[in-house]
Structure 1
Amino acid sequence: MSKQWKVAVVGATGAVGREMLKTLEQREFPCEVTPFSSSRSAGSKVPFRDGELTVKELKEDSFKGFDLALFSAGGGTSLKFAPLAAQQGCVVVDNSSAWRMDPKIPLVVPEVNAHDLEWHPGIIANPNCSTIQMVVVLKPLHDVATIKRVVVSTYQAVSGTGQKAIVELENQVRRLMSGHEANPEVYPHQIAFNCLPQIDVFLENEYTKEEMKMVHETQKIMGDDSIKVTATAVRVPVFYGHSESVNVEFEKPITPQGARAILSQAPGVRVFDNPSEKIYPMAIVAAGEDDTFVGRIRKDETIDNGLNMWIVADNIRKGAALNAVQIAEELVRRELLRVKK
C-alpha cells in the first residue's frame, strides 16, 4: 500500500482550492487532506471524495505533521505562511505570484522543467495560468528549433479573477438583457459583451503586471533569458478557459507540419488543428480538460522561421490546480517531498 501523505489545502473554499481538492481526488493522489482558510470561512464544508471536509482556520502552527501544502489564498497569505510551513517540515506548492521570481524558488511546469524541483528549499512556485499553457506548447518546439522571440495576445476568462468575477459576469448578462445597467464592481468596466485590455495594474512601462509576468516567467521556466517575449493580456466574457494567439520566431526553419508532429508527441498537449473541418481549439472545448490544446498552426509569411498558433487551456485546471498536483506527483516520484535541513 502506498504512503498516505498528509496534505493541507490552503484557500480551500475558493475556486482554485476547490479544484485542487477535486484534482487530488480524480488523480487518486494518496493523501489525507485537511482544508484551511481564513477565520471567515472556517467551519464551512467542502466536498472531497464521497463526503465533506470541515474547513479549519489557518494559523501559524497549522502545518505541524503535514507533508505537503497546496496554497491558493493570495500573495499576502503565501508570504506569511509558506515559510512557516517549510520551517515545520511541510513542502509548499504556492499558486500565488509571491515567490515566482525569487531566484531561490523553482518555478515549475512539470512537462517543461521538472528537474528544477531538485533544488527546492521547501517552497515551489506554480506559474501564472497564461504562462503555463504557453510554455507547455513552446518548450518542445524550442528544443528542436530554438525560439528567438514570442509575441502573445491573451484572451482570458473571468474565472482567472475568482468566484466574484464569475458572479459579476452572470449578473451583468442578466441585468443588460433585462434593460438595466451593468454596474461593474470587480472590474473597472463592464465585462459582459465586452473585452478589457487590462489584467492587473499598469506598470511604469505601460504594460500590465499580468503581461510582464508572462515575459519574466517564460524566461525563468524555459531557462533562457535570451528569449524575447512581449505580451498583451485581455479579459474576455468567458467563464472558463484562457485562449492565446502566439507568434513565434525561431532560429531555424520549422514547418507547420513539423510543428504538428512534434506537438502531437508532447506531454500534456493535444493538437486540435484541421481548419478545413472547422476544428480548432476553443474555450468550450478545453473547459474541464487537463490537456493544453493547440491549433491554427501556420507559417508567418512576414518573417523567416516564423509560426502562428492558437493555444487554449482551462485556466483553473492546468493553469492552476492540475499543475500544482502534478508538481506534487513529481515530488513523490523523485522522492523530494521533504524539506532539506
Structure 2
Amino acid sequence: MHSTAGTRPGAAAAHDSLLRGRVAVVTGAARGIGEALAGRLSAVGMHIALLGREAQTLSAAAASLGTPSLCVEADVTDQEALDEAARQVADRLGIASVVVANAGVAAGGPFRLTDAGLWRRVIDVNLIGSANTARAFLPQLARAHGYFLQIASTAAFGSAPMMSAYCASKAGAESFAQALRGEVEPDGIAVGIAYLHWTGTDMLTGIDDHPVLHALRAHQPRFARRMHTPGQVADWLAAGVEHRAAHIYAPPWLRWCQPLRPMFPALVTRVARREMRHTPAADLAAATGVMGAGGQADWEAYTSAARGRPAPPR
C-alpha cells in the first residue's frame, strides 16, 4: 500500500488541520492499515514516527511520506525497546500528540492444535503490546494533551471459533482502552477505540482457507461482507484522530451494531458450529498457523531471537 500523501482529496487544505506540525506515532506501520494511516496523517501535515518489526519495509513506507518522519524498529512486547523509541521520537521529531496502537498479528486454527507459543504471541502483541505502547508514550501525551487510539476489531463483538487468541486479544485491548480512558482524562489525554471490520490486508489474504471465517463472512448481509481497502479504513481513522473521537467505526455503519452486541456471541457460535460439523478435521487442521505476511515476519523474528539467530531482513 503506497502513501497517498499529496494526492488524498483535501490534502491541499492540510494547512488548516489542527494536526499540522504535530507528531504522530503509529505502531505496526510497515504495511497495511498502519502504513496507510501514516500516509493519511502525513497528508494533513503531521510528522510521523513509524514503529514496527520490518526495518526495510518501514523505510520504504517512510520514503513515500511528504512530511518529516522517523523509523524505529521495535517489538511492541519489549518495554525497554518502546521506551527507547519514545526517547528517539521526542529527541528527533518532538513530543507525540497522537499515538496509534495498531500493531497486531493473528493466528487461526483449533485451539488444541495451535502452538502454545504462537497463541501467547498473539496475546502479547495485540494486548500487552498496546499496554506497553501506552506506558511508553503517556508522559508525552500528557504534555501535549494528546490522543491515544487503540485499534480494536469486531472480533471483540462475538468471538469466532478457530480465532481464539485473536478474539481474546482484541476484546482485551478494547477493555484496556476503556479503563485507560477514565484514568488519563484528568491529564487532558483522550482515548479512542477503533472498531475495524473486514479489511483487505495481507492478514485476510487466505480467508477462504479458514472455513469458519469464510462461513461467518458468507452468512452476513451483502453490505456487511464487503472487504474495505486499507486506504478506506485509514480515511475513517484519520478523520477520527482529527476529531479526537472516543469511538471510530470502520465502516461507519458499525456504530449501529453496538446496541446489538449481546446477540452476536450466540449468532457467531451458531454459524461456526454448523460449519465445523460439516468440515473435515483435516481441513480445520490445515487452517492452523500465522495469518499474513506481517504476522509471519513477526513470528520469524520472535522465534529467531529465541534461537539466538538473526531474522531474515524484510
TM-score (norm: length of structure 1): 0.39
Structure with more of its chain in strand, by fraction? 1
Q: Which has the larger radius of gyration?
A: 1
